[in-house]
Structure 1
Amino acid sequence: MSLAERLCLTAAFVFFMTGLLTGIWKYWCMAQSPKAAAPRYVDIAHRSSLMYSFAAVLLGWFASYSVFPDWLNTLGAVSALGFFALAIGTYIIHGFLRDTSNQLRKPHTLGTIALPFWIVHGFMITLIAAEVGGSLILGAGAMMAIW
């Protein structure tokens, strides 16, 4: 099994367990709430963790078929998986702090700290490039192998 495949499988496990654990957190928040609702970012952390776990499995399958060298597949996997993890981490932080219902709404805050516009949007642009680029590397390598 290649390094890219091992990274994807490991990330799938970590993200899936994060999804299960944030599901417990979500349930606890719902049970404590008069409206039986969890904070938005607790819910987002739960759902995104589960979705990213299956995305990591898919990327692992792509890596297993990819015709690209292992270093390139590893770079693609690390890029996509790293930003999946950073996104989940951001959602967990916002869920814990209960500081926003929309992290992209101005003013950008993290708890009581105001964040400059360029940090939030720079992160989002980098996230898009890393997730799409990493997935494209693995997916294109797999498509070249099967066609």
Structure 2
Amino acid sequence: MIADAAALVPAARLALLGAGVFFLAGLLSGIWKYAHIAQRDDAQAPAYVDIAHRAALLYAFAALLLAQFAQLSAWSAAVNLWATALPLAFFAAAIGGYALHGWLDDTDNQFRRPQRVGRRTLPKHGLAAFMVLLVIAEVGGFAVLFAGLLRAFGLL
């Protein structure tokens, strides 16, 4: 990782900010998870409290990877910023969705039909559409950054 913050490109800065927010969310949701474990007879947190905790920690490290790839990418600052921002936005949306399900303790499987958030039923294909956009943003954004790295290495 680049040690001098002034040397970071905007996309890398954004990814590092995302990593910090996600890691803090992971740590705080760990406290939330433990509070449930300590209070419940079965010593279990709601499924999506656990998932939010783990996902936030994993996405924090994924954001660090995005930062490094963005820093080294041969593409323009604008391309790298979009290729970084889109996965980060979907990482955040996923963590937020998991935390909402954890808060509501409304499911142990968000894909079970009918798909619900609390007492509200989601549109029939709403989650599927979100998942398609998530895949495009996350895989596409990283693919752009990886191609930029390959180009910087003279391999593309």
Question: Which position in structure 2 is the counterpart of 1:137?
Answer: 144
Deviates more, 1:47-56 or 1:117-126: 117-126
Partner of residue 33 from structure 2, selected from 26, 38, 55: 26
TM-score norm. by structure 2 comes to 0.92
Question: Which position in structure 1 is the counterpart of 2:105?
Answer: 98
User: Distance between the aligned counterparts of 2:142 and 2:37, measured in 1?
Assistant: 35
Q: Which amino acid aligns with 1:15?
A: F
- 1:71-117 per-residue CA deviation (whole Å, 9 max, x = no partner) reads 00000011100000000000000000001100011010000001112
Partner of residue 68 from structure 1, selected from 59, 65, 75: 75
| Structure 1 moving runs of 4+ over 2 Å | none
User: Distance between the aligned counterparts of 2:42 and 2:149, measured in 1?
Assistant: 47
Question: Which position in structure 1 is the counterpart of 2:62?
Answer: 55
TM-score norm. by structure 1 comes to 0.98
User: Distance between the aligned counterparts of 2:78 and 2:152, measured in 1?
Assistant: 17
Question: Which position in structure 1 is the counterpart of 2:12?
Answer: 5
Conserved? CA contact 1:9–1:57, under 8 Å: yes
- The count of aligned residue pairs is 147
Q: Which amino acid aligns with 2:22?
A: F
User: Residue 2 of structure 1: CA displacement?
Assistant: 1.2
Q: Which runs of 5+ in 2 are unaligned?
A: 1-7
Name the structure where helix makes up a greater proportion of residues. 1
User: Distance between the aligned counterparts of 1:59 and 1:97, measured in 2?
Assistant: 31
Q: CA RMSD in A?
A: 0.7
Q: Which amino acid aligns with 1:32?
A: Q
1:79-118 counterparts in 2 under 5 A? Answer: 79-118=86-125
Question: Which position in structure 1 is the counterpart of 2:130?
Answer: 123
User: Residue 143 of structure 1: CA displacement?
Assistant: 2.0
Q: Which runs of 5+ in 1 are unaligned?
A: none
SS in 2 for 1:117: coil
